[in-house]
């Protein structure tokens, strides 16, 4: 039996079945063979017979309430609903008979009798399932008038900034309620009342004040205009769509950009998206308006000094000026005085050409990426232990997990679409262990989910916790020795086993240091080791520590020791923070590696690139971002090409960063907006949004997904074109005519990408690398038969307490994180209506710490560290533990990184954002830094609203 080829544009009414058993039945004289377990409706749709429906859609479980999908089955009485009736061998089904037609028209007549008859002026005219079904059943008249009791005057709920809820058009099909439960897992909606009084309710609140997270699942599911995007109401029905990839977090959701000409009307999650399967979050679904925000800079600018006004110039003049300055600095100070920083917001192709420019034009490896300050310990730790700098699984693997261990990650805020999938598995019975200093949503605010163990450790003690877990696994005989002997270096295992078995690594010995009861650590370790398929998911709460790399290696040790690697449902899974963190690292944007994680000192690799690029290349690792800034402060590093990254806001110790930038003679910033780093720039190249370019992103599961241009770049060029123009002006033409040619070069030179091309991506939708001759369609699960490095290697992970310690002057620990509605430094989301949920960063304080200091909810609080001071509003909450305060970093005026220190990971220099010793006091005014920033900010706003060609912003 040939596999069914599903059309992603077709709604099959009910979900697919995973059964391998086949069933043959007849539908309207058509014989069809389908997997056992699907519904008659689904089977009919596969055969090309579309049964009328309203409550059914293939993203939700069958419900059987609308009564339109009734069918007749030979040998059975009555008219069963085809959506809830499973197929059976030999069934003979009729979907079109006179009696069925009569029943359907009568049912449809009842729906229309309590529905506004405003189809011609309705925003969904031509795109309404109710309208379609009225035509499909042949409804020509409605015998029931509107004189009786009805819902036609029900008030609209306009509270949500992105969509409208109009209950007068609701048919109470429950699709929105079911989508909120089944797809999103928030359970914010319900059907309240009974009979005629039944209605959709957001907990008897308006949508904005309810538990709704604005993921858009309800809007997507609604078959009428009850729930509809405000952009559709304003712009009308889209006329065409282009499939592309979201430019926010590391989940990498696929979206259909639905367009009218060059205007985006709405972004709808693609049903065949490999990472999101038709789901979305508030950012990807709705927060794309920044692409056309008035703050966009679309004209290049130059100035000789950061104290001079900006001068708007044409592209040729800007490129020429930048090239002349780089050439001057190269001649005056030498090539080592020049470097570049790439961004995880850029495409793979853009990152590749940027590192190529630095290496081929200047002959140095002074190129780094924002992954330096987030997941560089992941690259190091997993490369050492497993042999590859990437996660081991596909997101779908979680549906086969029996135990889920989350360390230092808040998936519902940072990776919400994957979190919804994870929550489905948890509701189905998987066990949950959370190691986090805070009570994240999965602990405190997720319906029908309960963490079996919340290990509320003290910030900075991750390695101690990993050692304690390992101690239990080793000393209680829970190691899977057959796996270890077959798959790992035995000597390294023995050394590790002897180390973790020491009494000083026991949960009891480390309990006071970690802050977690020994019995809870022991129970969690036993559950992870013996509970079946166990998967570890971790985030920046692991990597952004002085021992970030050590923790990553410790996590890999746990997975290898328990044989939880190399199959579905297990693995080591770093949840990447930005859309292309994985890709930016894959593309060689680290100073010690060429694309594909090959060291610059390797002769064969270097020769390969020298031949392809026709330039001699350096064998010496270049400067990391912290090294660039240190040398700039000292006076030897003079020029920086910064593409898509805002290091002033995102990097630690802001004063050190700005001092370094002030010392440089040529800072080139390429971005959508005049960001904080641009305040210290001499050249500004306007960037292109993800809607204005072609390329690829690589998500946290190594999934390479297409980014496709849906409108012309407002600045005139895609970002890779700007870099290529700069390269040409420097005497090195790259010769690309399209982003696809860059990917072709990547594929030729990078073994894990040998099989990747734009053509294959268009055919398959997405590909998980490695994709090569051995794996032509990609690799969902890595390390199945052997590790990339051959034998897995255990590393001793000695706990070394951070030097950032509390004392009488700084008695509290500050840790940082993200929130659902905002993204990274907020440059994009702050320019959307997402600010309705998070207009400012706040400082979370435990009630005991607040009471000791006389701080009330909403008070201004001064936060002082060894590095600096800033001021935030207080939020009193028990989500943080006593002795710990927490804030987000999405708003530049909050100055979160003014107070973070220069402490960093021992192996990678990833900053220790998660541990800063601070004191907090109640204050009445902003900090000196914030007053200084306010001047900059006002100048930036003035520039955005400029009437002249130049304005002083320095």
- The 10s digit of each residue's pLDDT in 500-518 is 999 999 999 999 999 999 9
What is the mean pLDDT for each group of 10 consecutive residues in the chain (954 residues)? 80 94 96 96 96 96 95 96 97 96 94 90 91 92 80 92 96 96 96 92 95 97 96 95 96 96 96 96 97 96 95 97 98 97 96 98 95 90 95 97 97 96 96 96 86 96 98 98 97 98 98 97 98 97 94 98 98 93 95 96 97 97 96 97 94 92 98 95 97 97 97 97 98 97 98 96 96 95 96 97 95 95 92 95 97 96 94 96 95 88 91 95 82 64 47 34
Q: Are 615 and 360 in contact (CB under 8 A)?
A: yes
- Tell me the Cα Rg of the chain: 29
The tokens describing 791, both together, are 């034998």
Residue 444's pLDDT is what? 77
Calculated CA dihedral for residues 906, 911, 914, 915, nearest 10 degrees? 70
How many Å separate Cα 199 from the centre of its chain? 34
The tokens describing 403, both together, are 């135990």
What is the DSSP secondary-structure string of 870-905? EEEEEEE-TTSPTTEEEEE--SGGG-HHHH--S-B-
Residue 946's pLDDT is what? 54
What is the DSSP secondary-structure string of 721-784? HHHHHHHHHTT-----SSHHHHHHHHHHH-GGGTT--HHHHHHHS-EESP-SSSSTT--SS--S
485 burial level (CB within 10 Å; 0-12, 13-18, 19+): exposed
Residue 213's pLDDT is what? 96
Q: Are 87 and 34 in contact (CB under 8 A)?
A: yes
Using CA atoms, how far apart are residues 802 and 544, in angstroms rounded to an integer?
12
Write the CB contacts of 501 (distance below 8 Å, at least 6 apart in sequence): 471, 474, 475
Q: Are 915 and 880 in contact (CB under 8 A)?
A: no
Residue 542's pLDDT is what? 95
In 3D, which of 250, 544, 449, 411 has the Cα closest to residue 820? Answer: 411
Using CA atoms, how far apart are residues 893 and 929, in angstroms rounded to an integer?
9
Using CA atoms, how far apart are residues 265 and 7, in angstroms rounded to an integer?
23
Q: Are 348 and 698 in contact (CB under 8 A)?
A: yes
In 3D, which of 531, 466, 476 has the Cα closest to residue 505? Answer: 466
The tokens describing 348, both together, are 């793979």
Q: Please, what is the end-to-end C-alpha distance for the chain in angstroms?
A: 70
Q: How far is CA 29 from CA 56, 85, 97, 449, 917, in A?
A: 24, 19, 13, 46, 75
The residue whose two tokens read 């028990």 is: 878
**On the CB side of 55, how many CA atoms lie within 13 Å of its CA?**
23
What is the DSSP secondary-structure string of 594-620? ETTTEETT-HHHHHHHHHHHTS----S
Residue 894's pLDDT is what? 86
- Left if phi > 0, otherwise alpha if psi is -120 to 50, otherwise beta: which for 346? beta
Write the CB contacts of 346 (distance below 8 Å, at least 6 apart in sequence): 354, 580, 584, 643, 644, 719
Pairing of strands 695-698, 703-707: antiparallel
Neighbours of 539 (CB within 10 A): 28
Q: Are 622 and 595 in contact (CB under 8 A)?
A: no
pTM: 0.95
Q: What are residue 748's DSSP bridge partners?
A: none
Using CA atoms, how far apart are residues 669 and 906, in angstroms rounded to an integer?
29
Q: What are residue 255's DSSP bridge partners?
A: 244, 269
Using CA atoms, how far apart are residues 640 and 662, in angstroms rounded to an integer?
12
pLDDT tens, position by position, 615-672 = 999 999 999 999 999 999 999 999 999 999 999 998 989 999 999 999 999 999 999 9
User: C-alpha angle 113/114/117, rounded to 5°?
Assistant: 75
Q: Are 607 and 355 in contact (CB under 8 A)?
A: no
Q: How far is CA 361 from CA 23, 126, 341, 685, 736, in A?
A: 63, 55, 15, 19, 16
User: C-alpha angle 728/731/735, rounded to 5°?
Assistant: 40
Query: What per-residue string of b and e applies to 336-373 under the rule 16 or more CB within 10 Å gives b?
Result: bbbbbbbbbbbbbbbbbbbbbbbbbbbebbbbbbbbbb
Using CA atoms, how far apart are residues 387 and 754, in angstroms rounded to an integer?
19
């Amino acid at each position: 039996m040939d596999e069914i080829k599903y059309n992603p544009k077709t709604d099959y009414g009910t979900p697919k079945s995973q059964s391998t058993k086949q069933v043959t039945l007849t539908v309207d004289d058509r014989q069809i063979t389908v997997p056992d377990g699907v519904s008659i409706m689904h089977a009919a749709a596969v055969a090309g017979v579309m049964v009328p429906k309203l409550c059914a859609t293939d993203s939700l479980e069958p419900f059987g309430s609308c009564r339109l999908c009734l069918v007749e089955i030979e040998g059975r009485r009555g008219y069963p609903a085809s959506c809830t009736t499973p197929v059976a061998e030999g069934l003979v089904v009729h979907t079109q008979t006179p009696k069925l037609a009569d029943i359907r028209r009568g049912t449809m007549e009842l729906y229309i009798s309590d529905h506004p008859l405003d189809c011609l002026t309705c925003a969904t005219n031509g795109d309404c399932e109710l309208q379609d079904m009225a035509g499909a059943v042949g409804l020509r008249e409605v015998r029931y008038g509107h004189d009786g009791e009805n819902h036609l005057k029900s008030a609209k709920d306009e509270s949500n900034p992105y969509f409208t809820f109009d209950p007068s058009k609701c048919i109470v099909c429950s699709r929105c309620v079911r989508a909120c439960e089944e797809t999103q897992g928030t359970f914010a909606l319900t059907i309240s009342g009974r009979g005629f009084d039944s209605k959709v309710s957001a907990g008897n609140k308006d949508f904005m004040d309810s538990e709704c997270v604005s993921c858009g699942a309800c809007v997507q599911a609604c078959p009428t205009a009850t729930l509809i995007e405000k952009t559709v109401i304003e712009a009308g029905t889209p006329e065409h769509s282009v499939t592309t990839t979201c430019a926010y977090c590391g989940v990498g959701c696929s979206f259909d950009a639905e367009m009218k000409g060059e205007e985006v009307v709405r972004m709808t999650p693609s049903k065949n998206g490999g990472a999101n399967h038709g789901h979305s979050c508030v950012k990807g679904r709705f927060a794309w308006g920044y692409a056309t925000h008035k703050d966009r800079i679309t004209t290049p600018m130059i100035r000789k000094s950061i104290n001079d006004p900006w001068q708007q110039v044409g592209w040729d003049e800007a490129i020429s000026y930048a090239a002349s300055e780089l050439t001057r600095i190269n001649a005056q100070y030498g090539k080592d005085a020049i470097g570049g920083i790439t961004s995880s917001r850029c495409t793979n192709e853009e990152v590749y050409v940027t590192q190529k420019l630095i290496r081929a034009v200047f002959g140095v490896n002074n190129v780094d990426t924002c992954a330096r300050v987030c997941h560089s310990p992941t690259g190091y730790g997993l490369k050492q232990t497993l042999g590859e700098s990437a996660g081991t699984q596909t997101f779908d693997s979680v549906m086969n997990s029996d135990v889920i261990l989350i360390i230092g990650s808040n998936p519902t805020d940072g990776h919400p679409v994957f979190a919804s999938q994870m929550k489905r598995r948890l509701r189905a019975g998987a066990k949950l262990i959370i190691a986090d200093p805070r009570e994240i949503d999965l602990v405190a605010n997720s319906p029908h989910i309960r963490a079996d163990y919340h290990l509320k450790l003290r910030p900075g003690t991750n390695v101690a916790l990993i050692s304690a877990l390992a101690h239990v696994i080793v000393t209680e005989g829970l190691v899977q020795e057959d796996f270890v002997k077959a798959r790992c270096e035995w000597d390294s295992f023995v050394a590790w086993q002897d180390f973790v078995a020491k009494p000083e690594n026991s949960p009891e010995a480390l309990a006071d240091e970690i802050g977690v009861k020994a019995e809870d650590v022991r129970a969690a370790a036993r559950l992870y080791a013996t509970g079946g398929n166990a998967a570890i998911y971790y985030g920046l709460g692991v990597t952004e520590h002085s021992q970030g790399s050590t923790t990553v290696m410790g996590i890999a040790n746990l997975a290898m020791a328990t044989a939880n690697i190399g199959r579905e449902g297990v693995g080591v899974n770093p949840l990447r923070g930005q859309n292309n963190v994985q890709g930016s690292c894959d593309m060689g944007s680290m100073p010690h590696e060429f694309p594909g994680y090959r060291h610059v000192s390797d002769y064969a690799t270097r020769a390969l690139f020298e031949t392809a690029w026709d330039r001699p290349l350096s064998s010496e690792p270049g400067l990391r971002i912290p090294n660039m800034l240190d040398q700039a402060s000292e006076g030897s590093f003079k020029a920086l090409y910064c593409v898509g990254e805002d290091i002033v806001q995102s990097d630690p110790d802001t004063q050190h960063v700005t001092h370094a930038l002030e010392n440089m003679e040529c800072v080139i910033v390429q971005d959508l907006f005049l960001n904080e780093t641009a305040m210290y720039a001499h050249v500004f190249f306007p960037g292109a949004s993800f809607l204005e370019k072609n390329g690829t992103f690589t998500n946290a599961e190594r999934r390479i997904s297409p980014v496709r241009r849906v409108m012309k770049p407002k600045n005139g060029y895609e970002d890779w074109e700007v870099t290529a123009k700069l390269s040409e002006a420097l005497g090195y033409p790259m010769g690309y005519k399209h982003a696809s040619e860059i990917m072709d070069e990547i594929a030729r030179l990078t073994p894990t990408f040998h099989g990747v091309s734009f053509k294959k991506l268009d055919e398959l939708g997405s590909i998980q690398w490695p994709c090569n001759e051995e794996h032509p369609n990609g690799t969902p699960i890595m390390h199945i038969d052997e590790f990339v490095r051959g034998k897995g290697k255990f590393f001793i992970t000695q706990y070394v307490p951070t030097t950032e310690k509390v004392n009488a002057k700084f008695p509290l620990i500050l840790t940082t994180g993200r929130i659902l509605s905002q993204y990274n430094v907020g440059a994009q989301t702050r320019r959307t209506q997402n600010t309705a949920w998070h207009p400012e960063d706040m400082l979370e304080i435990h009630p005991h710490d607040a009471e000791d200091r006389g701080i009330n909810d909403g008070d201004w609080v001064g936060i002082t560290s060894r590095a600096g001071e800033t001021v935030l509003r207080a939020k009193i909450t028990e989500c943080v533990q006593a002795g710990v305060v927490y804030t987000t970093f999405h708003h530049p005026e909050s100055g979160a990184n003014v107070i973070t220190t220069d402490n960093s990971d021992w192996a990678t220099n990833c900053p220790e954002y998660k541990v800063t010793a601070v004191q907090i006091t109640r204050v009445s005014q902003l900090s000196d830094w914030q007053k200084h920033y306010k001047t900059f900010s006002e100048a930036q706003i003035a520039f955005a609203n400029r009437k002249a060609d130049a304005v002083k912003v320095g």
